[in-house]
Structure 1
């Protein structure tokens, strides 16, 4: 049997700004590294590729040098062909576009790429019409509908294709936001094109639904409830998003729209924290975690809140996590489960089958949740 030729492109800088609370990675890689951020794209890709190890003898990867793919493939023992070359210094968007062109020239059947929305834009700018691609989510906020819901889902989808399973192809939207505006608290997403992606079951994430939560009265009710049940000397971690900021506003607290904030005894004690700062605040201290779901998409962990890392989740405890979401927001999921993609598959698997959702005054819903698959 001839080898299945699969392309692999890793953006080594993807996701660097997440744990450093920089709301993205475009143009801030050096700053993120200075703040202690560690590259995560290769590890996210490793999780996906491990699903393909049983089929290694049937695969030949086409990739770019070094951190853009060759290093990881060599480490995992996959047969691979290295195309192109890289200069000194950090990789760039131009390198991604050159890699896409080279891998297509070598006739890759499926092009896997790891990154975020900026990477998807670069792929979209260079890809030929009809070339199947599949994104491994490794960025910060991922709006585009060309990514699997998790690295393991990407690996499972690719494995199904290599094994000869029936996989539908569909068009996925590429969207990206202005990260400079995002850091100022303004969210503006723009459509950049479409890519041909495999689509099967619940492996692919949906395009993030834009718009500000409008059910203000519900948030007033939840705030009244929370005000009555505050626990003394317990630290409440508020995740990013308009729902959590609206809740804080109704509690008379000033929090950040896109950052992670910590509240204790009715006061904000830390705003827009990094992953390291957050871990130091919750490690060994009674804490509660409030997050919301991304409307239309369903992620509660792993999209725009990488400060809430696996070690932070373990320090707080999964039993102390609550989702704040109106019934209207849950309705945008059309029955699909909430999603977690922490970067640690073992932790994702440890999430309960359903989580409690605060949806009104003394109103808790039990809603299904899925880890990475």
Structure 2
């Protein structure tokens, strides 16, 4: 089977930062952008995106890029020779925040693996409203104000991080804060910043909490950290059913909860309380129908299988119902590194499901410590 292309979404806010050089203190508002153009301001966000895209040129045959028309992405991709599909056509000559949101919606509909966007805090805010945690994002800094934690330090750095993800290198997945300043107040000399949400951002792999004992992972400490992360999610979502898959990593979470666990079976937990042990595929479907559900599973060390080996109770019908977004893969970084770059494997017996899971997926490797790792195409 041919290797699946990495699905990259791309959005440029053409007017981002246009008021900076003219001391207009931002680019929010059609009147500000019009004033900047009249005074000869240059649109720079496309050029900054081009710098980021330089790092992806050697990988362009591994990419399927989805974008918006004209200056929102199509023009720069065409000029650099990237194959791409335009999934959103903006109508007005001067794009607005509604165009950014609409383009982001189309990218989510295409189930892109990652969104690369160029803009400032206003752009990040618009994208956050739509994307939330549907997929990771990387921001190319192009605005007058960059307070949000979803931007790379430079356009070149943005491209390098995305290249790492495309190549399947182990990168951390962090939560980046989206903040924006009220530009009207800012022009009056008052800085009023507001938190608007968070998005997932890939970063270079950093052993923050998991490195112990001279640089080697201590399994006991790391598994405790992984358990703490999952238990926190249970606390945050007390009405959600957590389907606990088989394997020793999932077993460590159940031990931390003080619950009886079926090591080679599947159990059901809600609100940190055990609902049922050793469920069949049919009983799982019955329990989970029309309820919020997350599936916690791990991989087989050395092989990388996440479905189809020892957890057949997690039927294709159940996994499709839950969706990829609600699958929580748990593993230590050393377990991932033992794969030596090989992708995770889904061998569910349902080719449609297996293909649906292909692409990057967050893996919980510690407390608030995630990495992005790919599920391969069989």
Bin for the TM-score computed over the shorter chain: 0.5 to 0.7
Residue equivalent to 1:35: 39
* 1:322-361 matches, cutoff 5 A: none
The whole-number CA distance in structure 1 between the counterparts of 2:184 and 2:169 is 42
Deviation at 1:65, TM superposition (A): 0.6
2:121 pairs with 117, 124, 132, which one? 117
2:289 aligned residue: none
Contact 2:52 2:156 in 1 (8 A): yes
Distance 1:201 1:179 in 2: 35
2:216 matches 1:200: no
1:93 corresponds to which of 71, 94, 97: 97
Q: How many angstroms does 1:60 deviate by?
A: 1.2
Partner residue of 1:67? 71
| TM-score of the pair, normalised by structure 1 | 0.53
Query: What residue number does 2:339 align with?
Result: none
Match of 2:268 in 1: none
TM-superposed CA distance for 1:88, in Å, is 2.6
Alignment-derived partner of residue 6 in structure 1: 8
Contact (CA 8 Å) 1:10, 1:41: kept in 2 or not? yes
For 1:141, the equivalent position in structure 2 comes to 145
- Whether the aligned pair in 1 keeps the contact of 2:178 and 2:198 (CA below 8 Å) is yes
Which secondary structure state, in structure 2, belongs to the residue aligned with residue 147 of structure 1?
coil
Give the conservation status (yes or no) of the 8 Å contact 2:108–2:134.
Answer: no
Segments of 4+ in structure 1 off by > 3 A?
Answer: none
Shift of 1:37: 0.9
Q: 1:86 Cα deviation (Å)?
A: 1.3
- 2:60 aligns with 56
The correspondence of residues 72-221 of structure 1 with structure 2, limited to 5 A, is 72-200=76-204
- What RMSD, in angstroms, separates the aligned Cα atoms of the two structures? 1.2
User: Does the 8 Å CA contact 2:132/2:199 hold for their aligned counterparts?
Assistant: no
Count how many residue pairs are aligned between Structure 1 and Structure 2: 202
- State whether structure 2 residue 41 is matched by structure 1 residue 24: no
Hey, what's the Cα distance between the residues in 2 that align with 1:72 and 1:34? 24
Deviation at 1:128, TM superposition (A): 4.2
Q: Does the 8 A contact of 1:20 with 1:37 survive in 2?
A: yes
Instruction: Report deviation, 1:141.
Output: 1.3
Task: Report the 3-state secondary structure (helix = DSSP H, G, I; strand = E; otherwise coil) of the residue aligned with 1:55.
Answer: helix
C-alpha offsets along residues 227-254 of structure 1, whole Å, 9 cap, x if unaligned? xxxxxxxxxxxxxxxxxxxxxxxxxxxx
Structure 1 counterpart of 2:49, from 45, 49, 52: 45
Query: In the TM superposition, what whole-angstrom CA distance separates every residue of 1:306-348 from its partner, at most 9, and x where no partner exists?
Result: xxxxxxxxxxxxxxxxxxxxxxxxxxxxxxxxxxxxxxxxxxx
1:136-159 CA distance string (max 9 Å, x none) = 100011000000000000000000
User: Match for residue 296 of structure 1?
Assistant: none
Evaluate the alpha carbon distance shift between residue 130 and residue 107 of structure 1 in structure 2; reply closer, same or farther with a 3 A threshold: closer
TM-score by length of 2: 0.52
Q: State the alpha-carbon separation in 2 of the partners of residues 128 and 90 from structure 1.
A: 26
Secondary structure of the residue aligned to 1:77 is coil
The answer (yes or no) to whether the contact 1:20–1:36 under 8 Å persists in 2 is no
Once residues 113 and 186 of structure 1 are traced to their aligned partners in structure 2, the CA distance between those partners, rounded to angstroms, is 28
Contact 1:169 1:199 (C-alpha < 8 Å) held by counterparts: yes
SS of corresponding position for 2:20: helix
Q: Secondary structure at the match of 2:106?
A: helix
Structure 1 CA distance for aligned equivalents of residues 57 and 93 of structure 2: 31
The verdict on how the C-alpha distance between 1:177 and 1:45 changes in structure 2, with shifts beyond 3 A counting, is: same
Structure 2: how far apart are the matches of 1:185 and 1:90?
28
Shift, 1:130, TM fit: 3.9
**Bigger Rg, which one:** 2
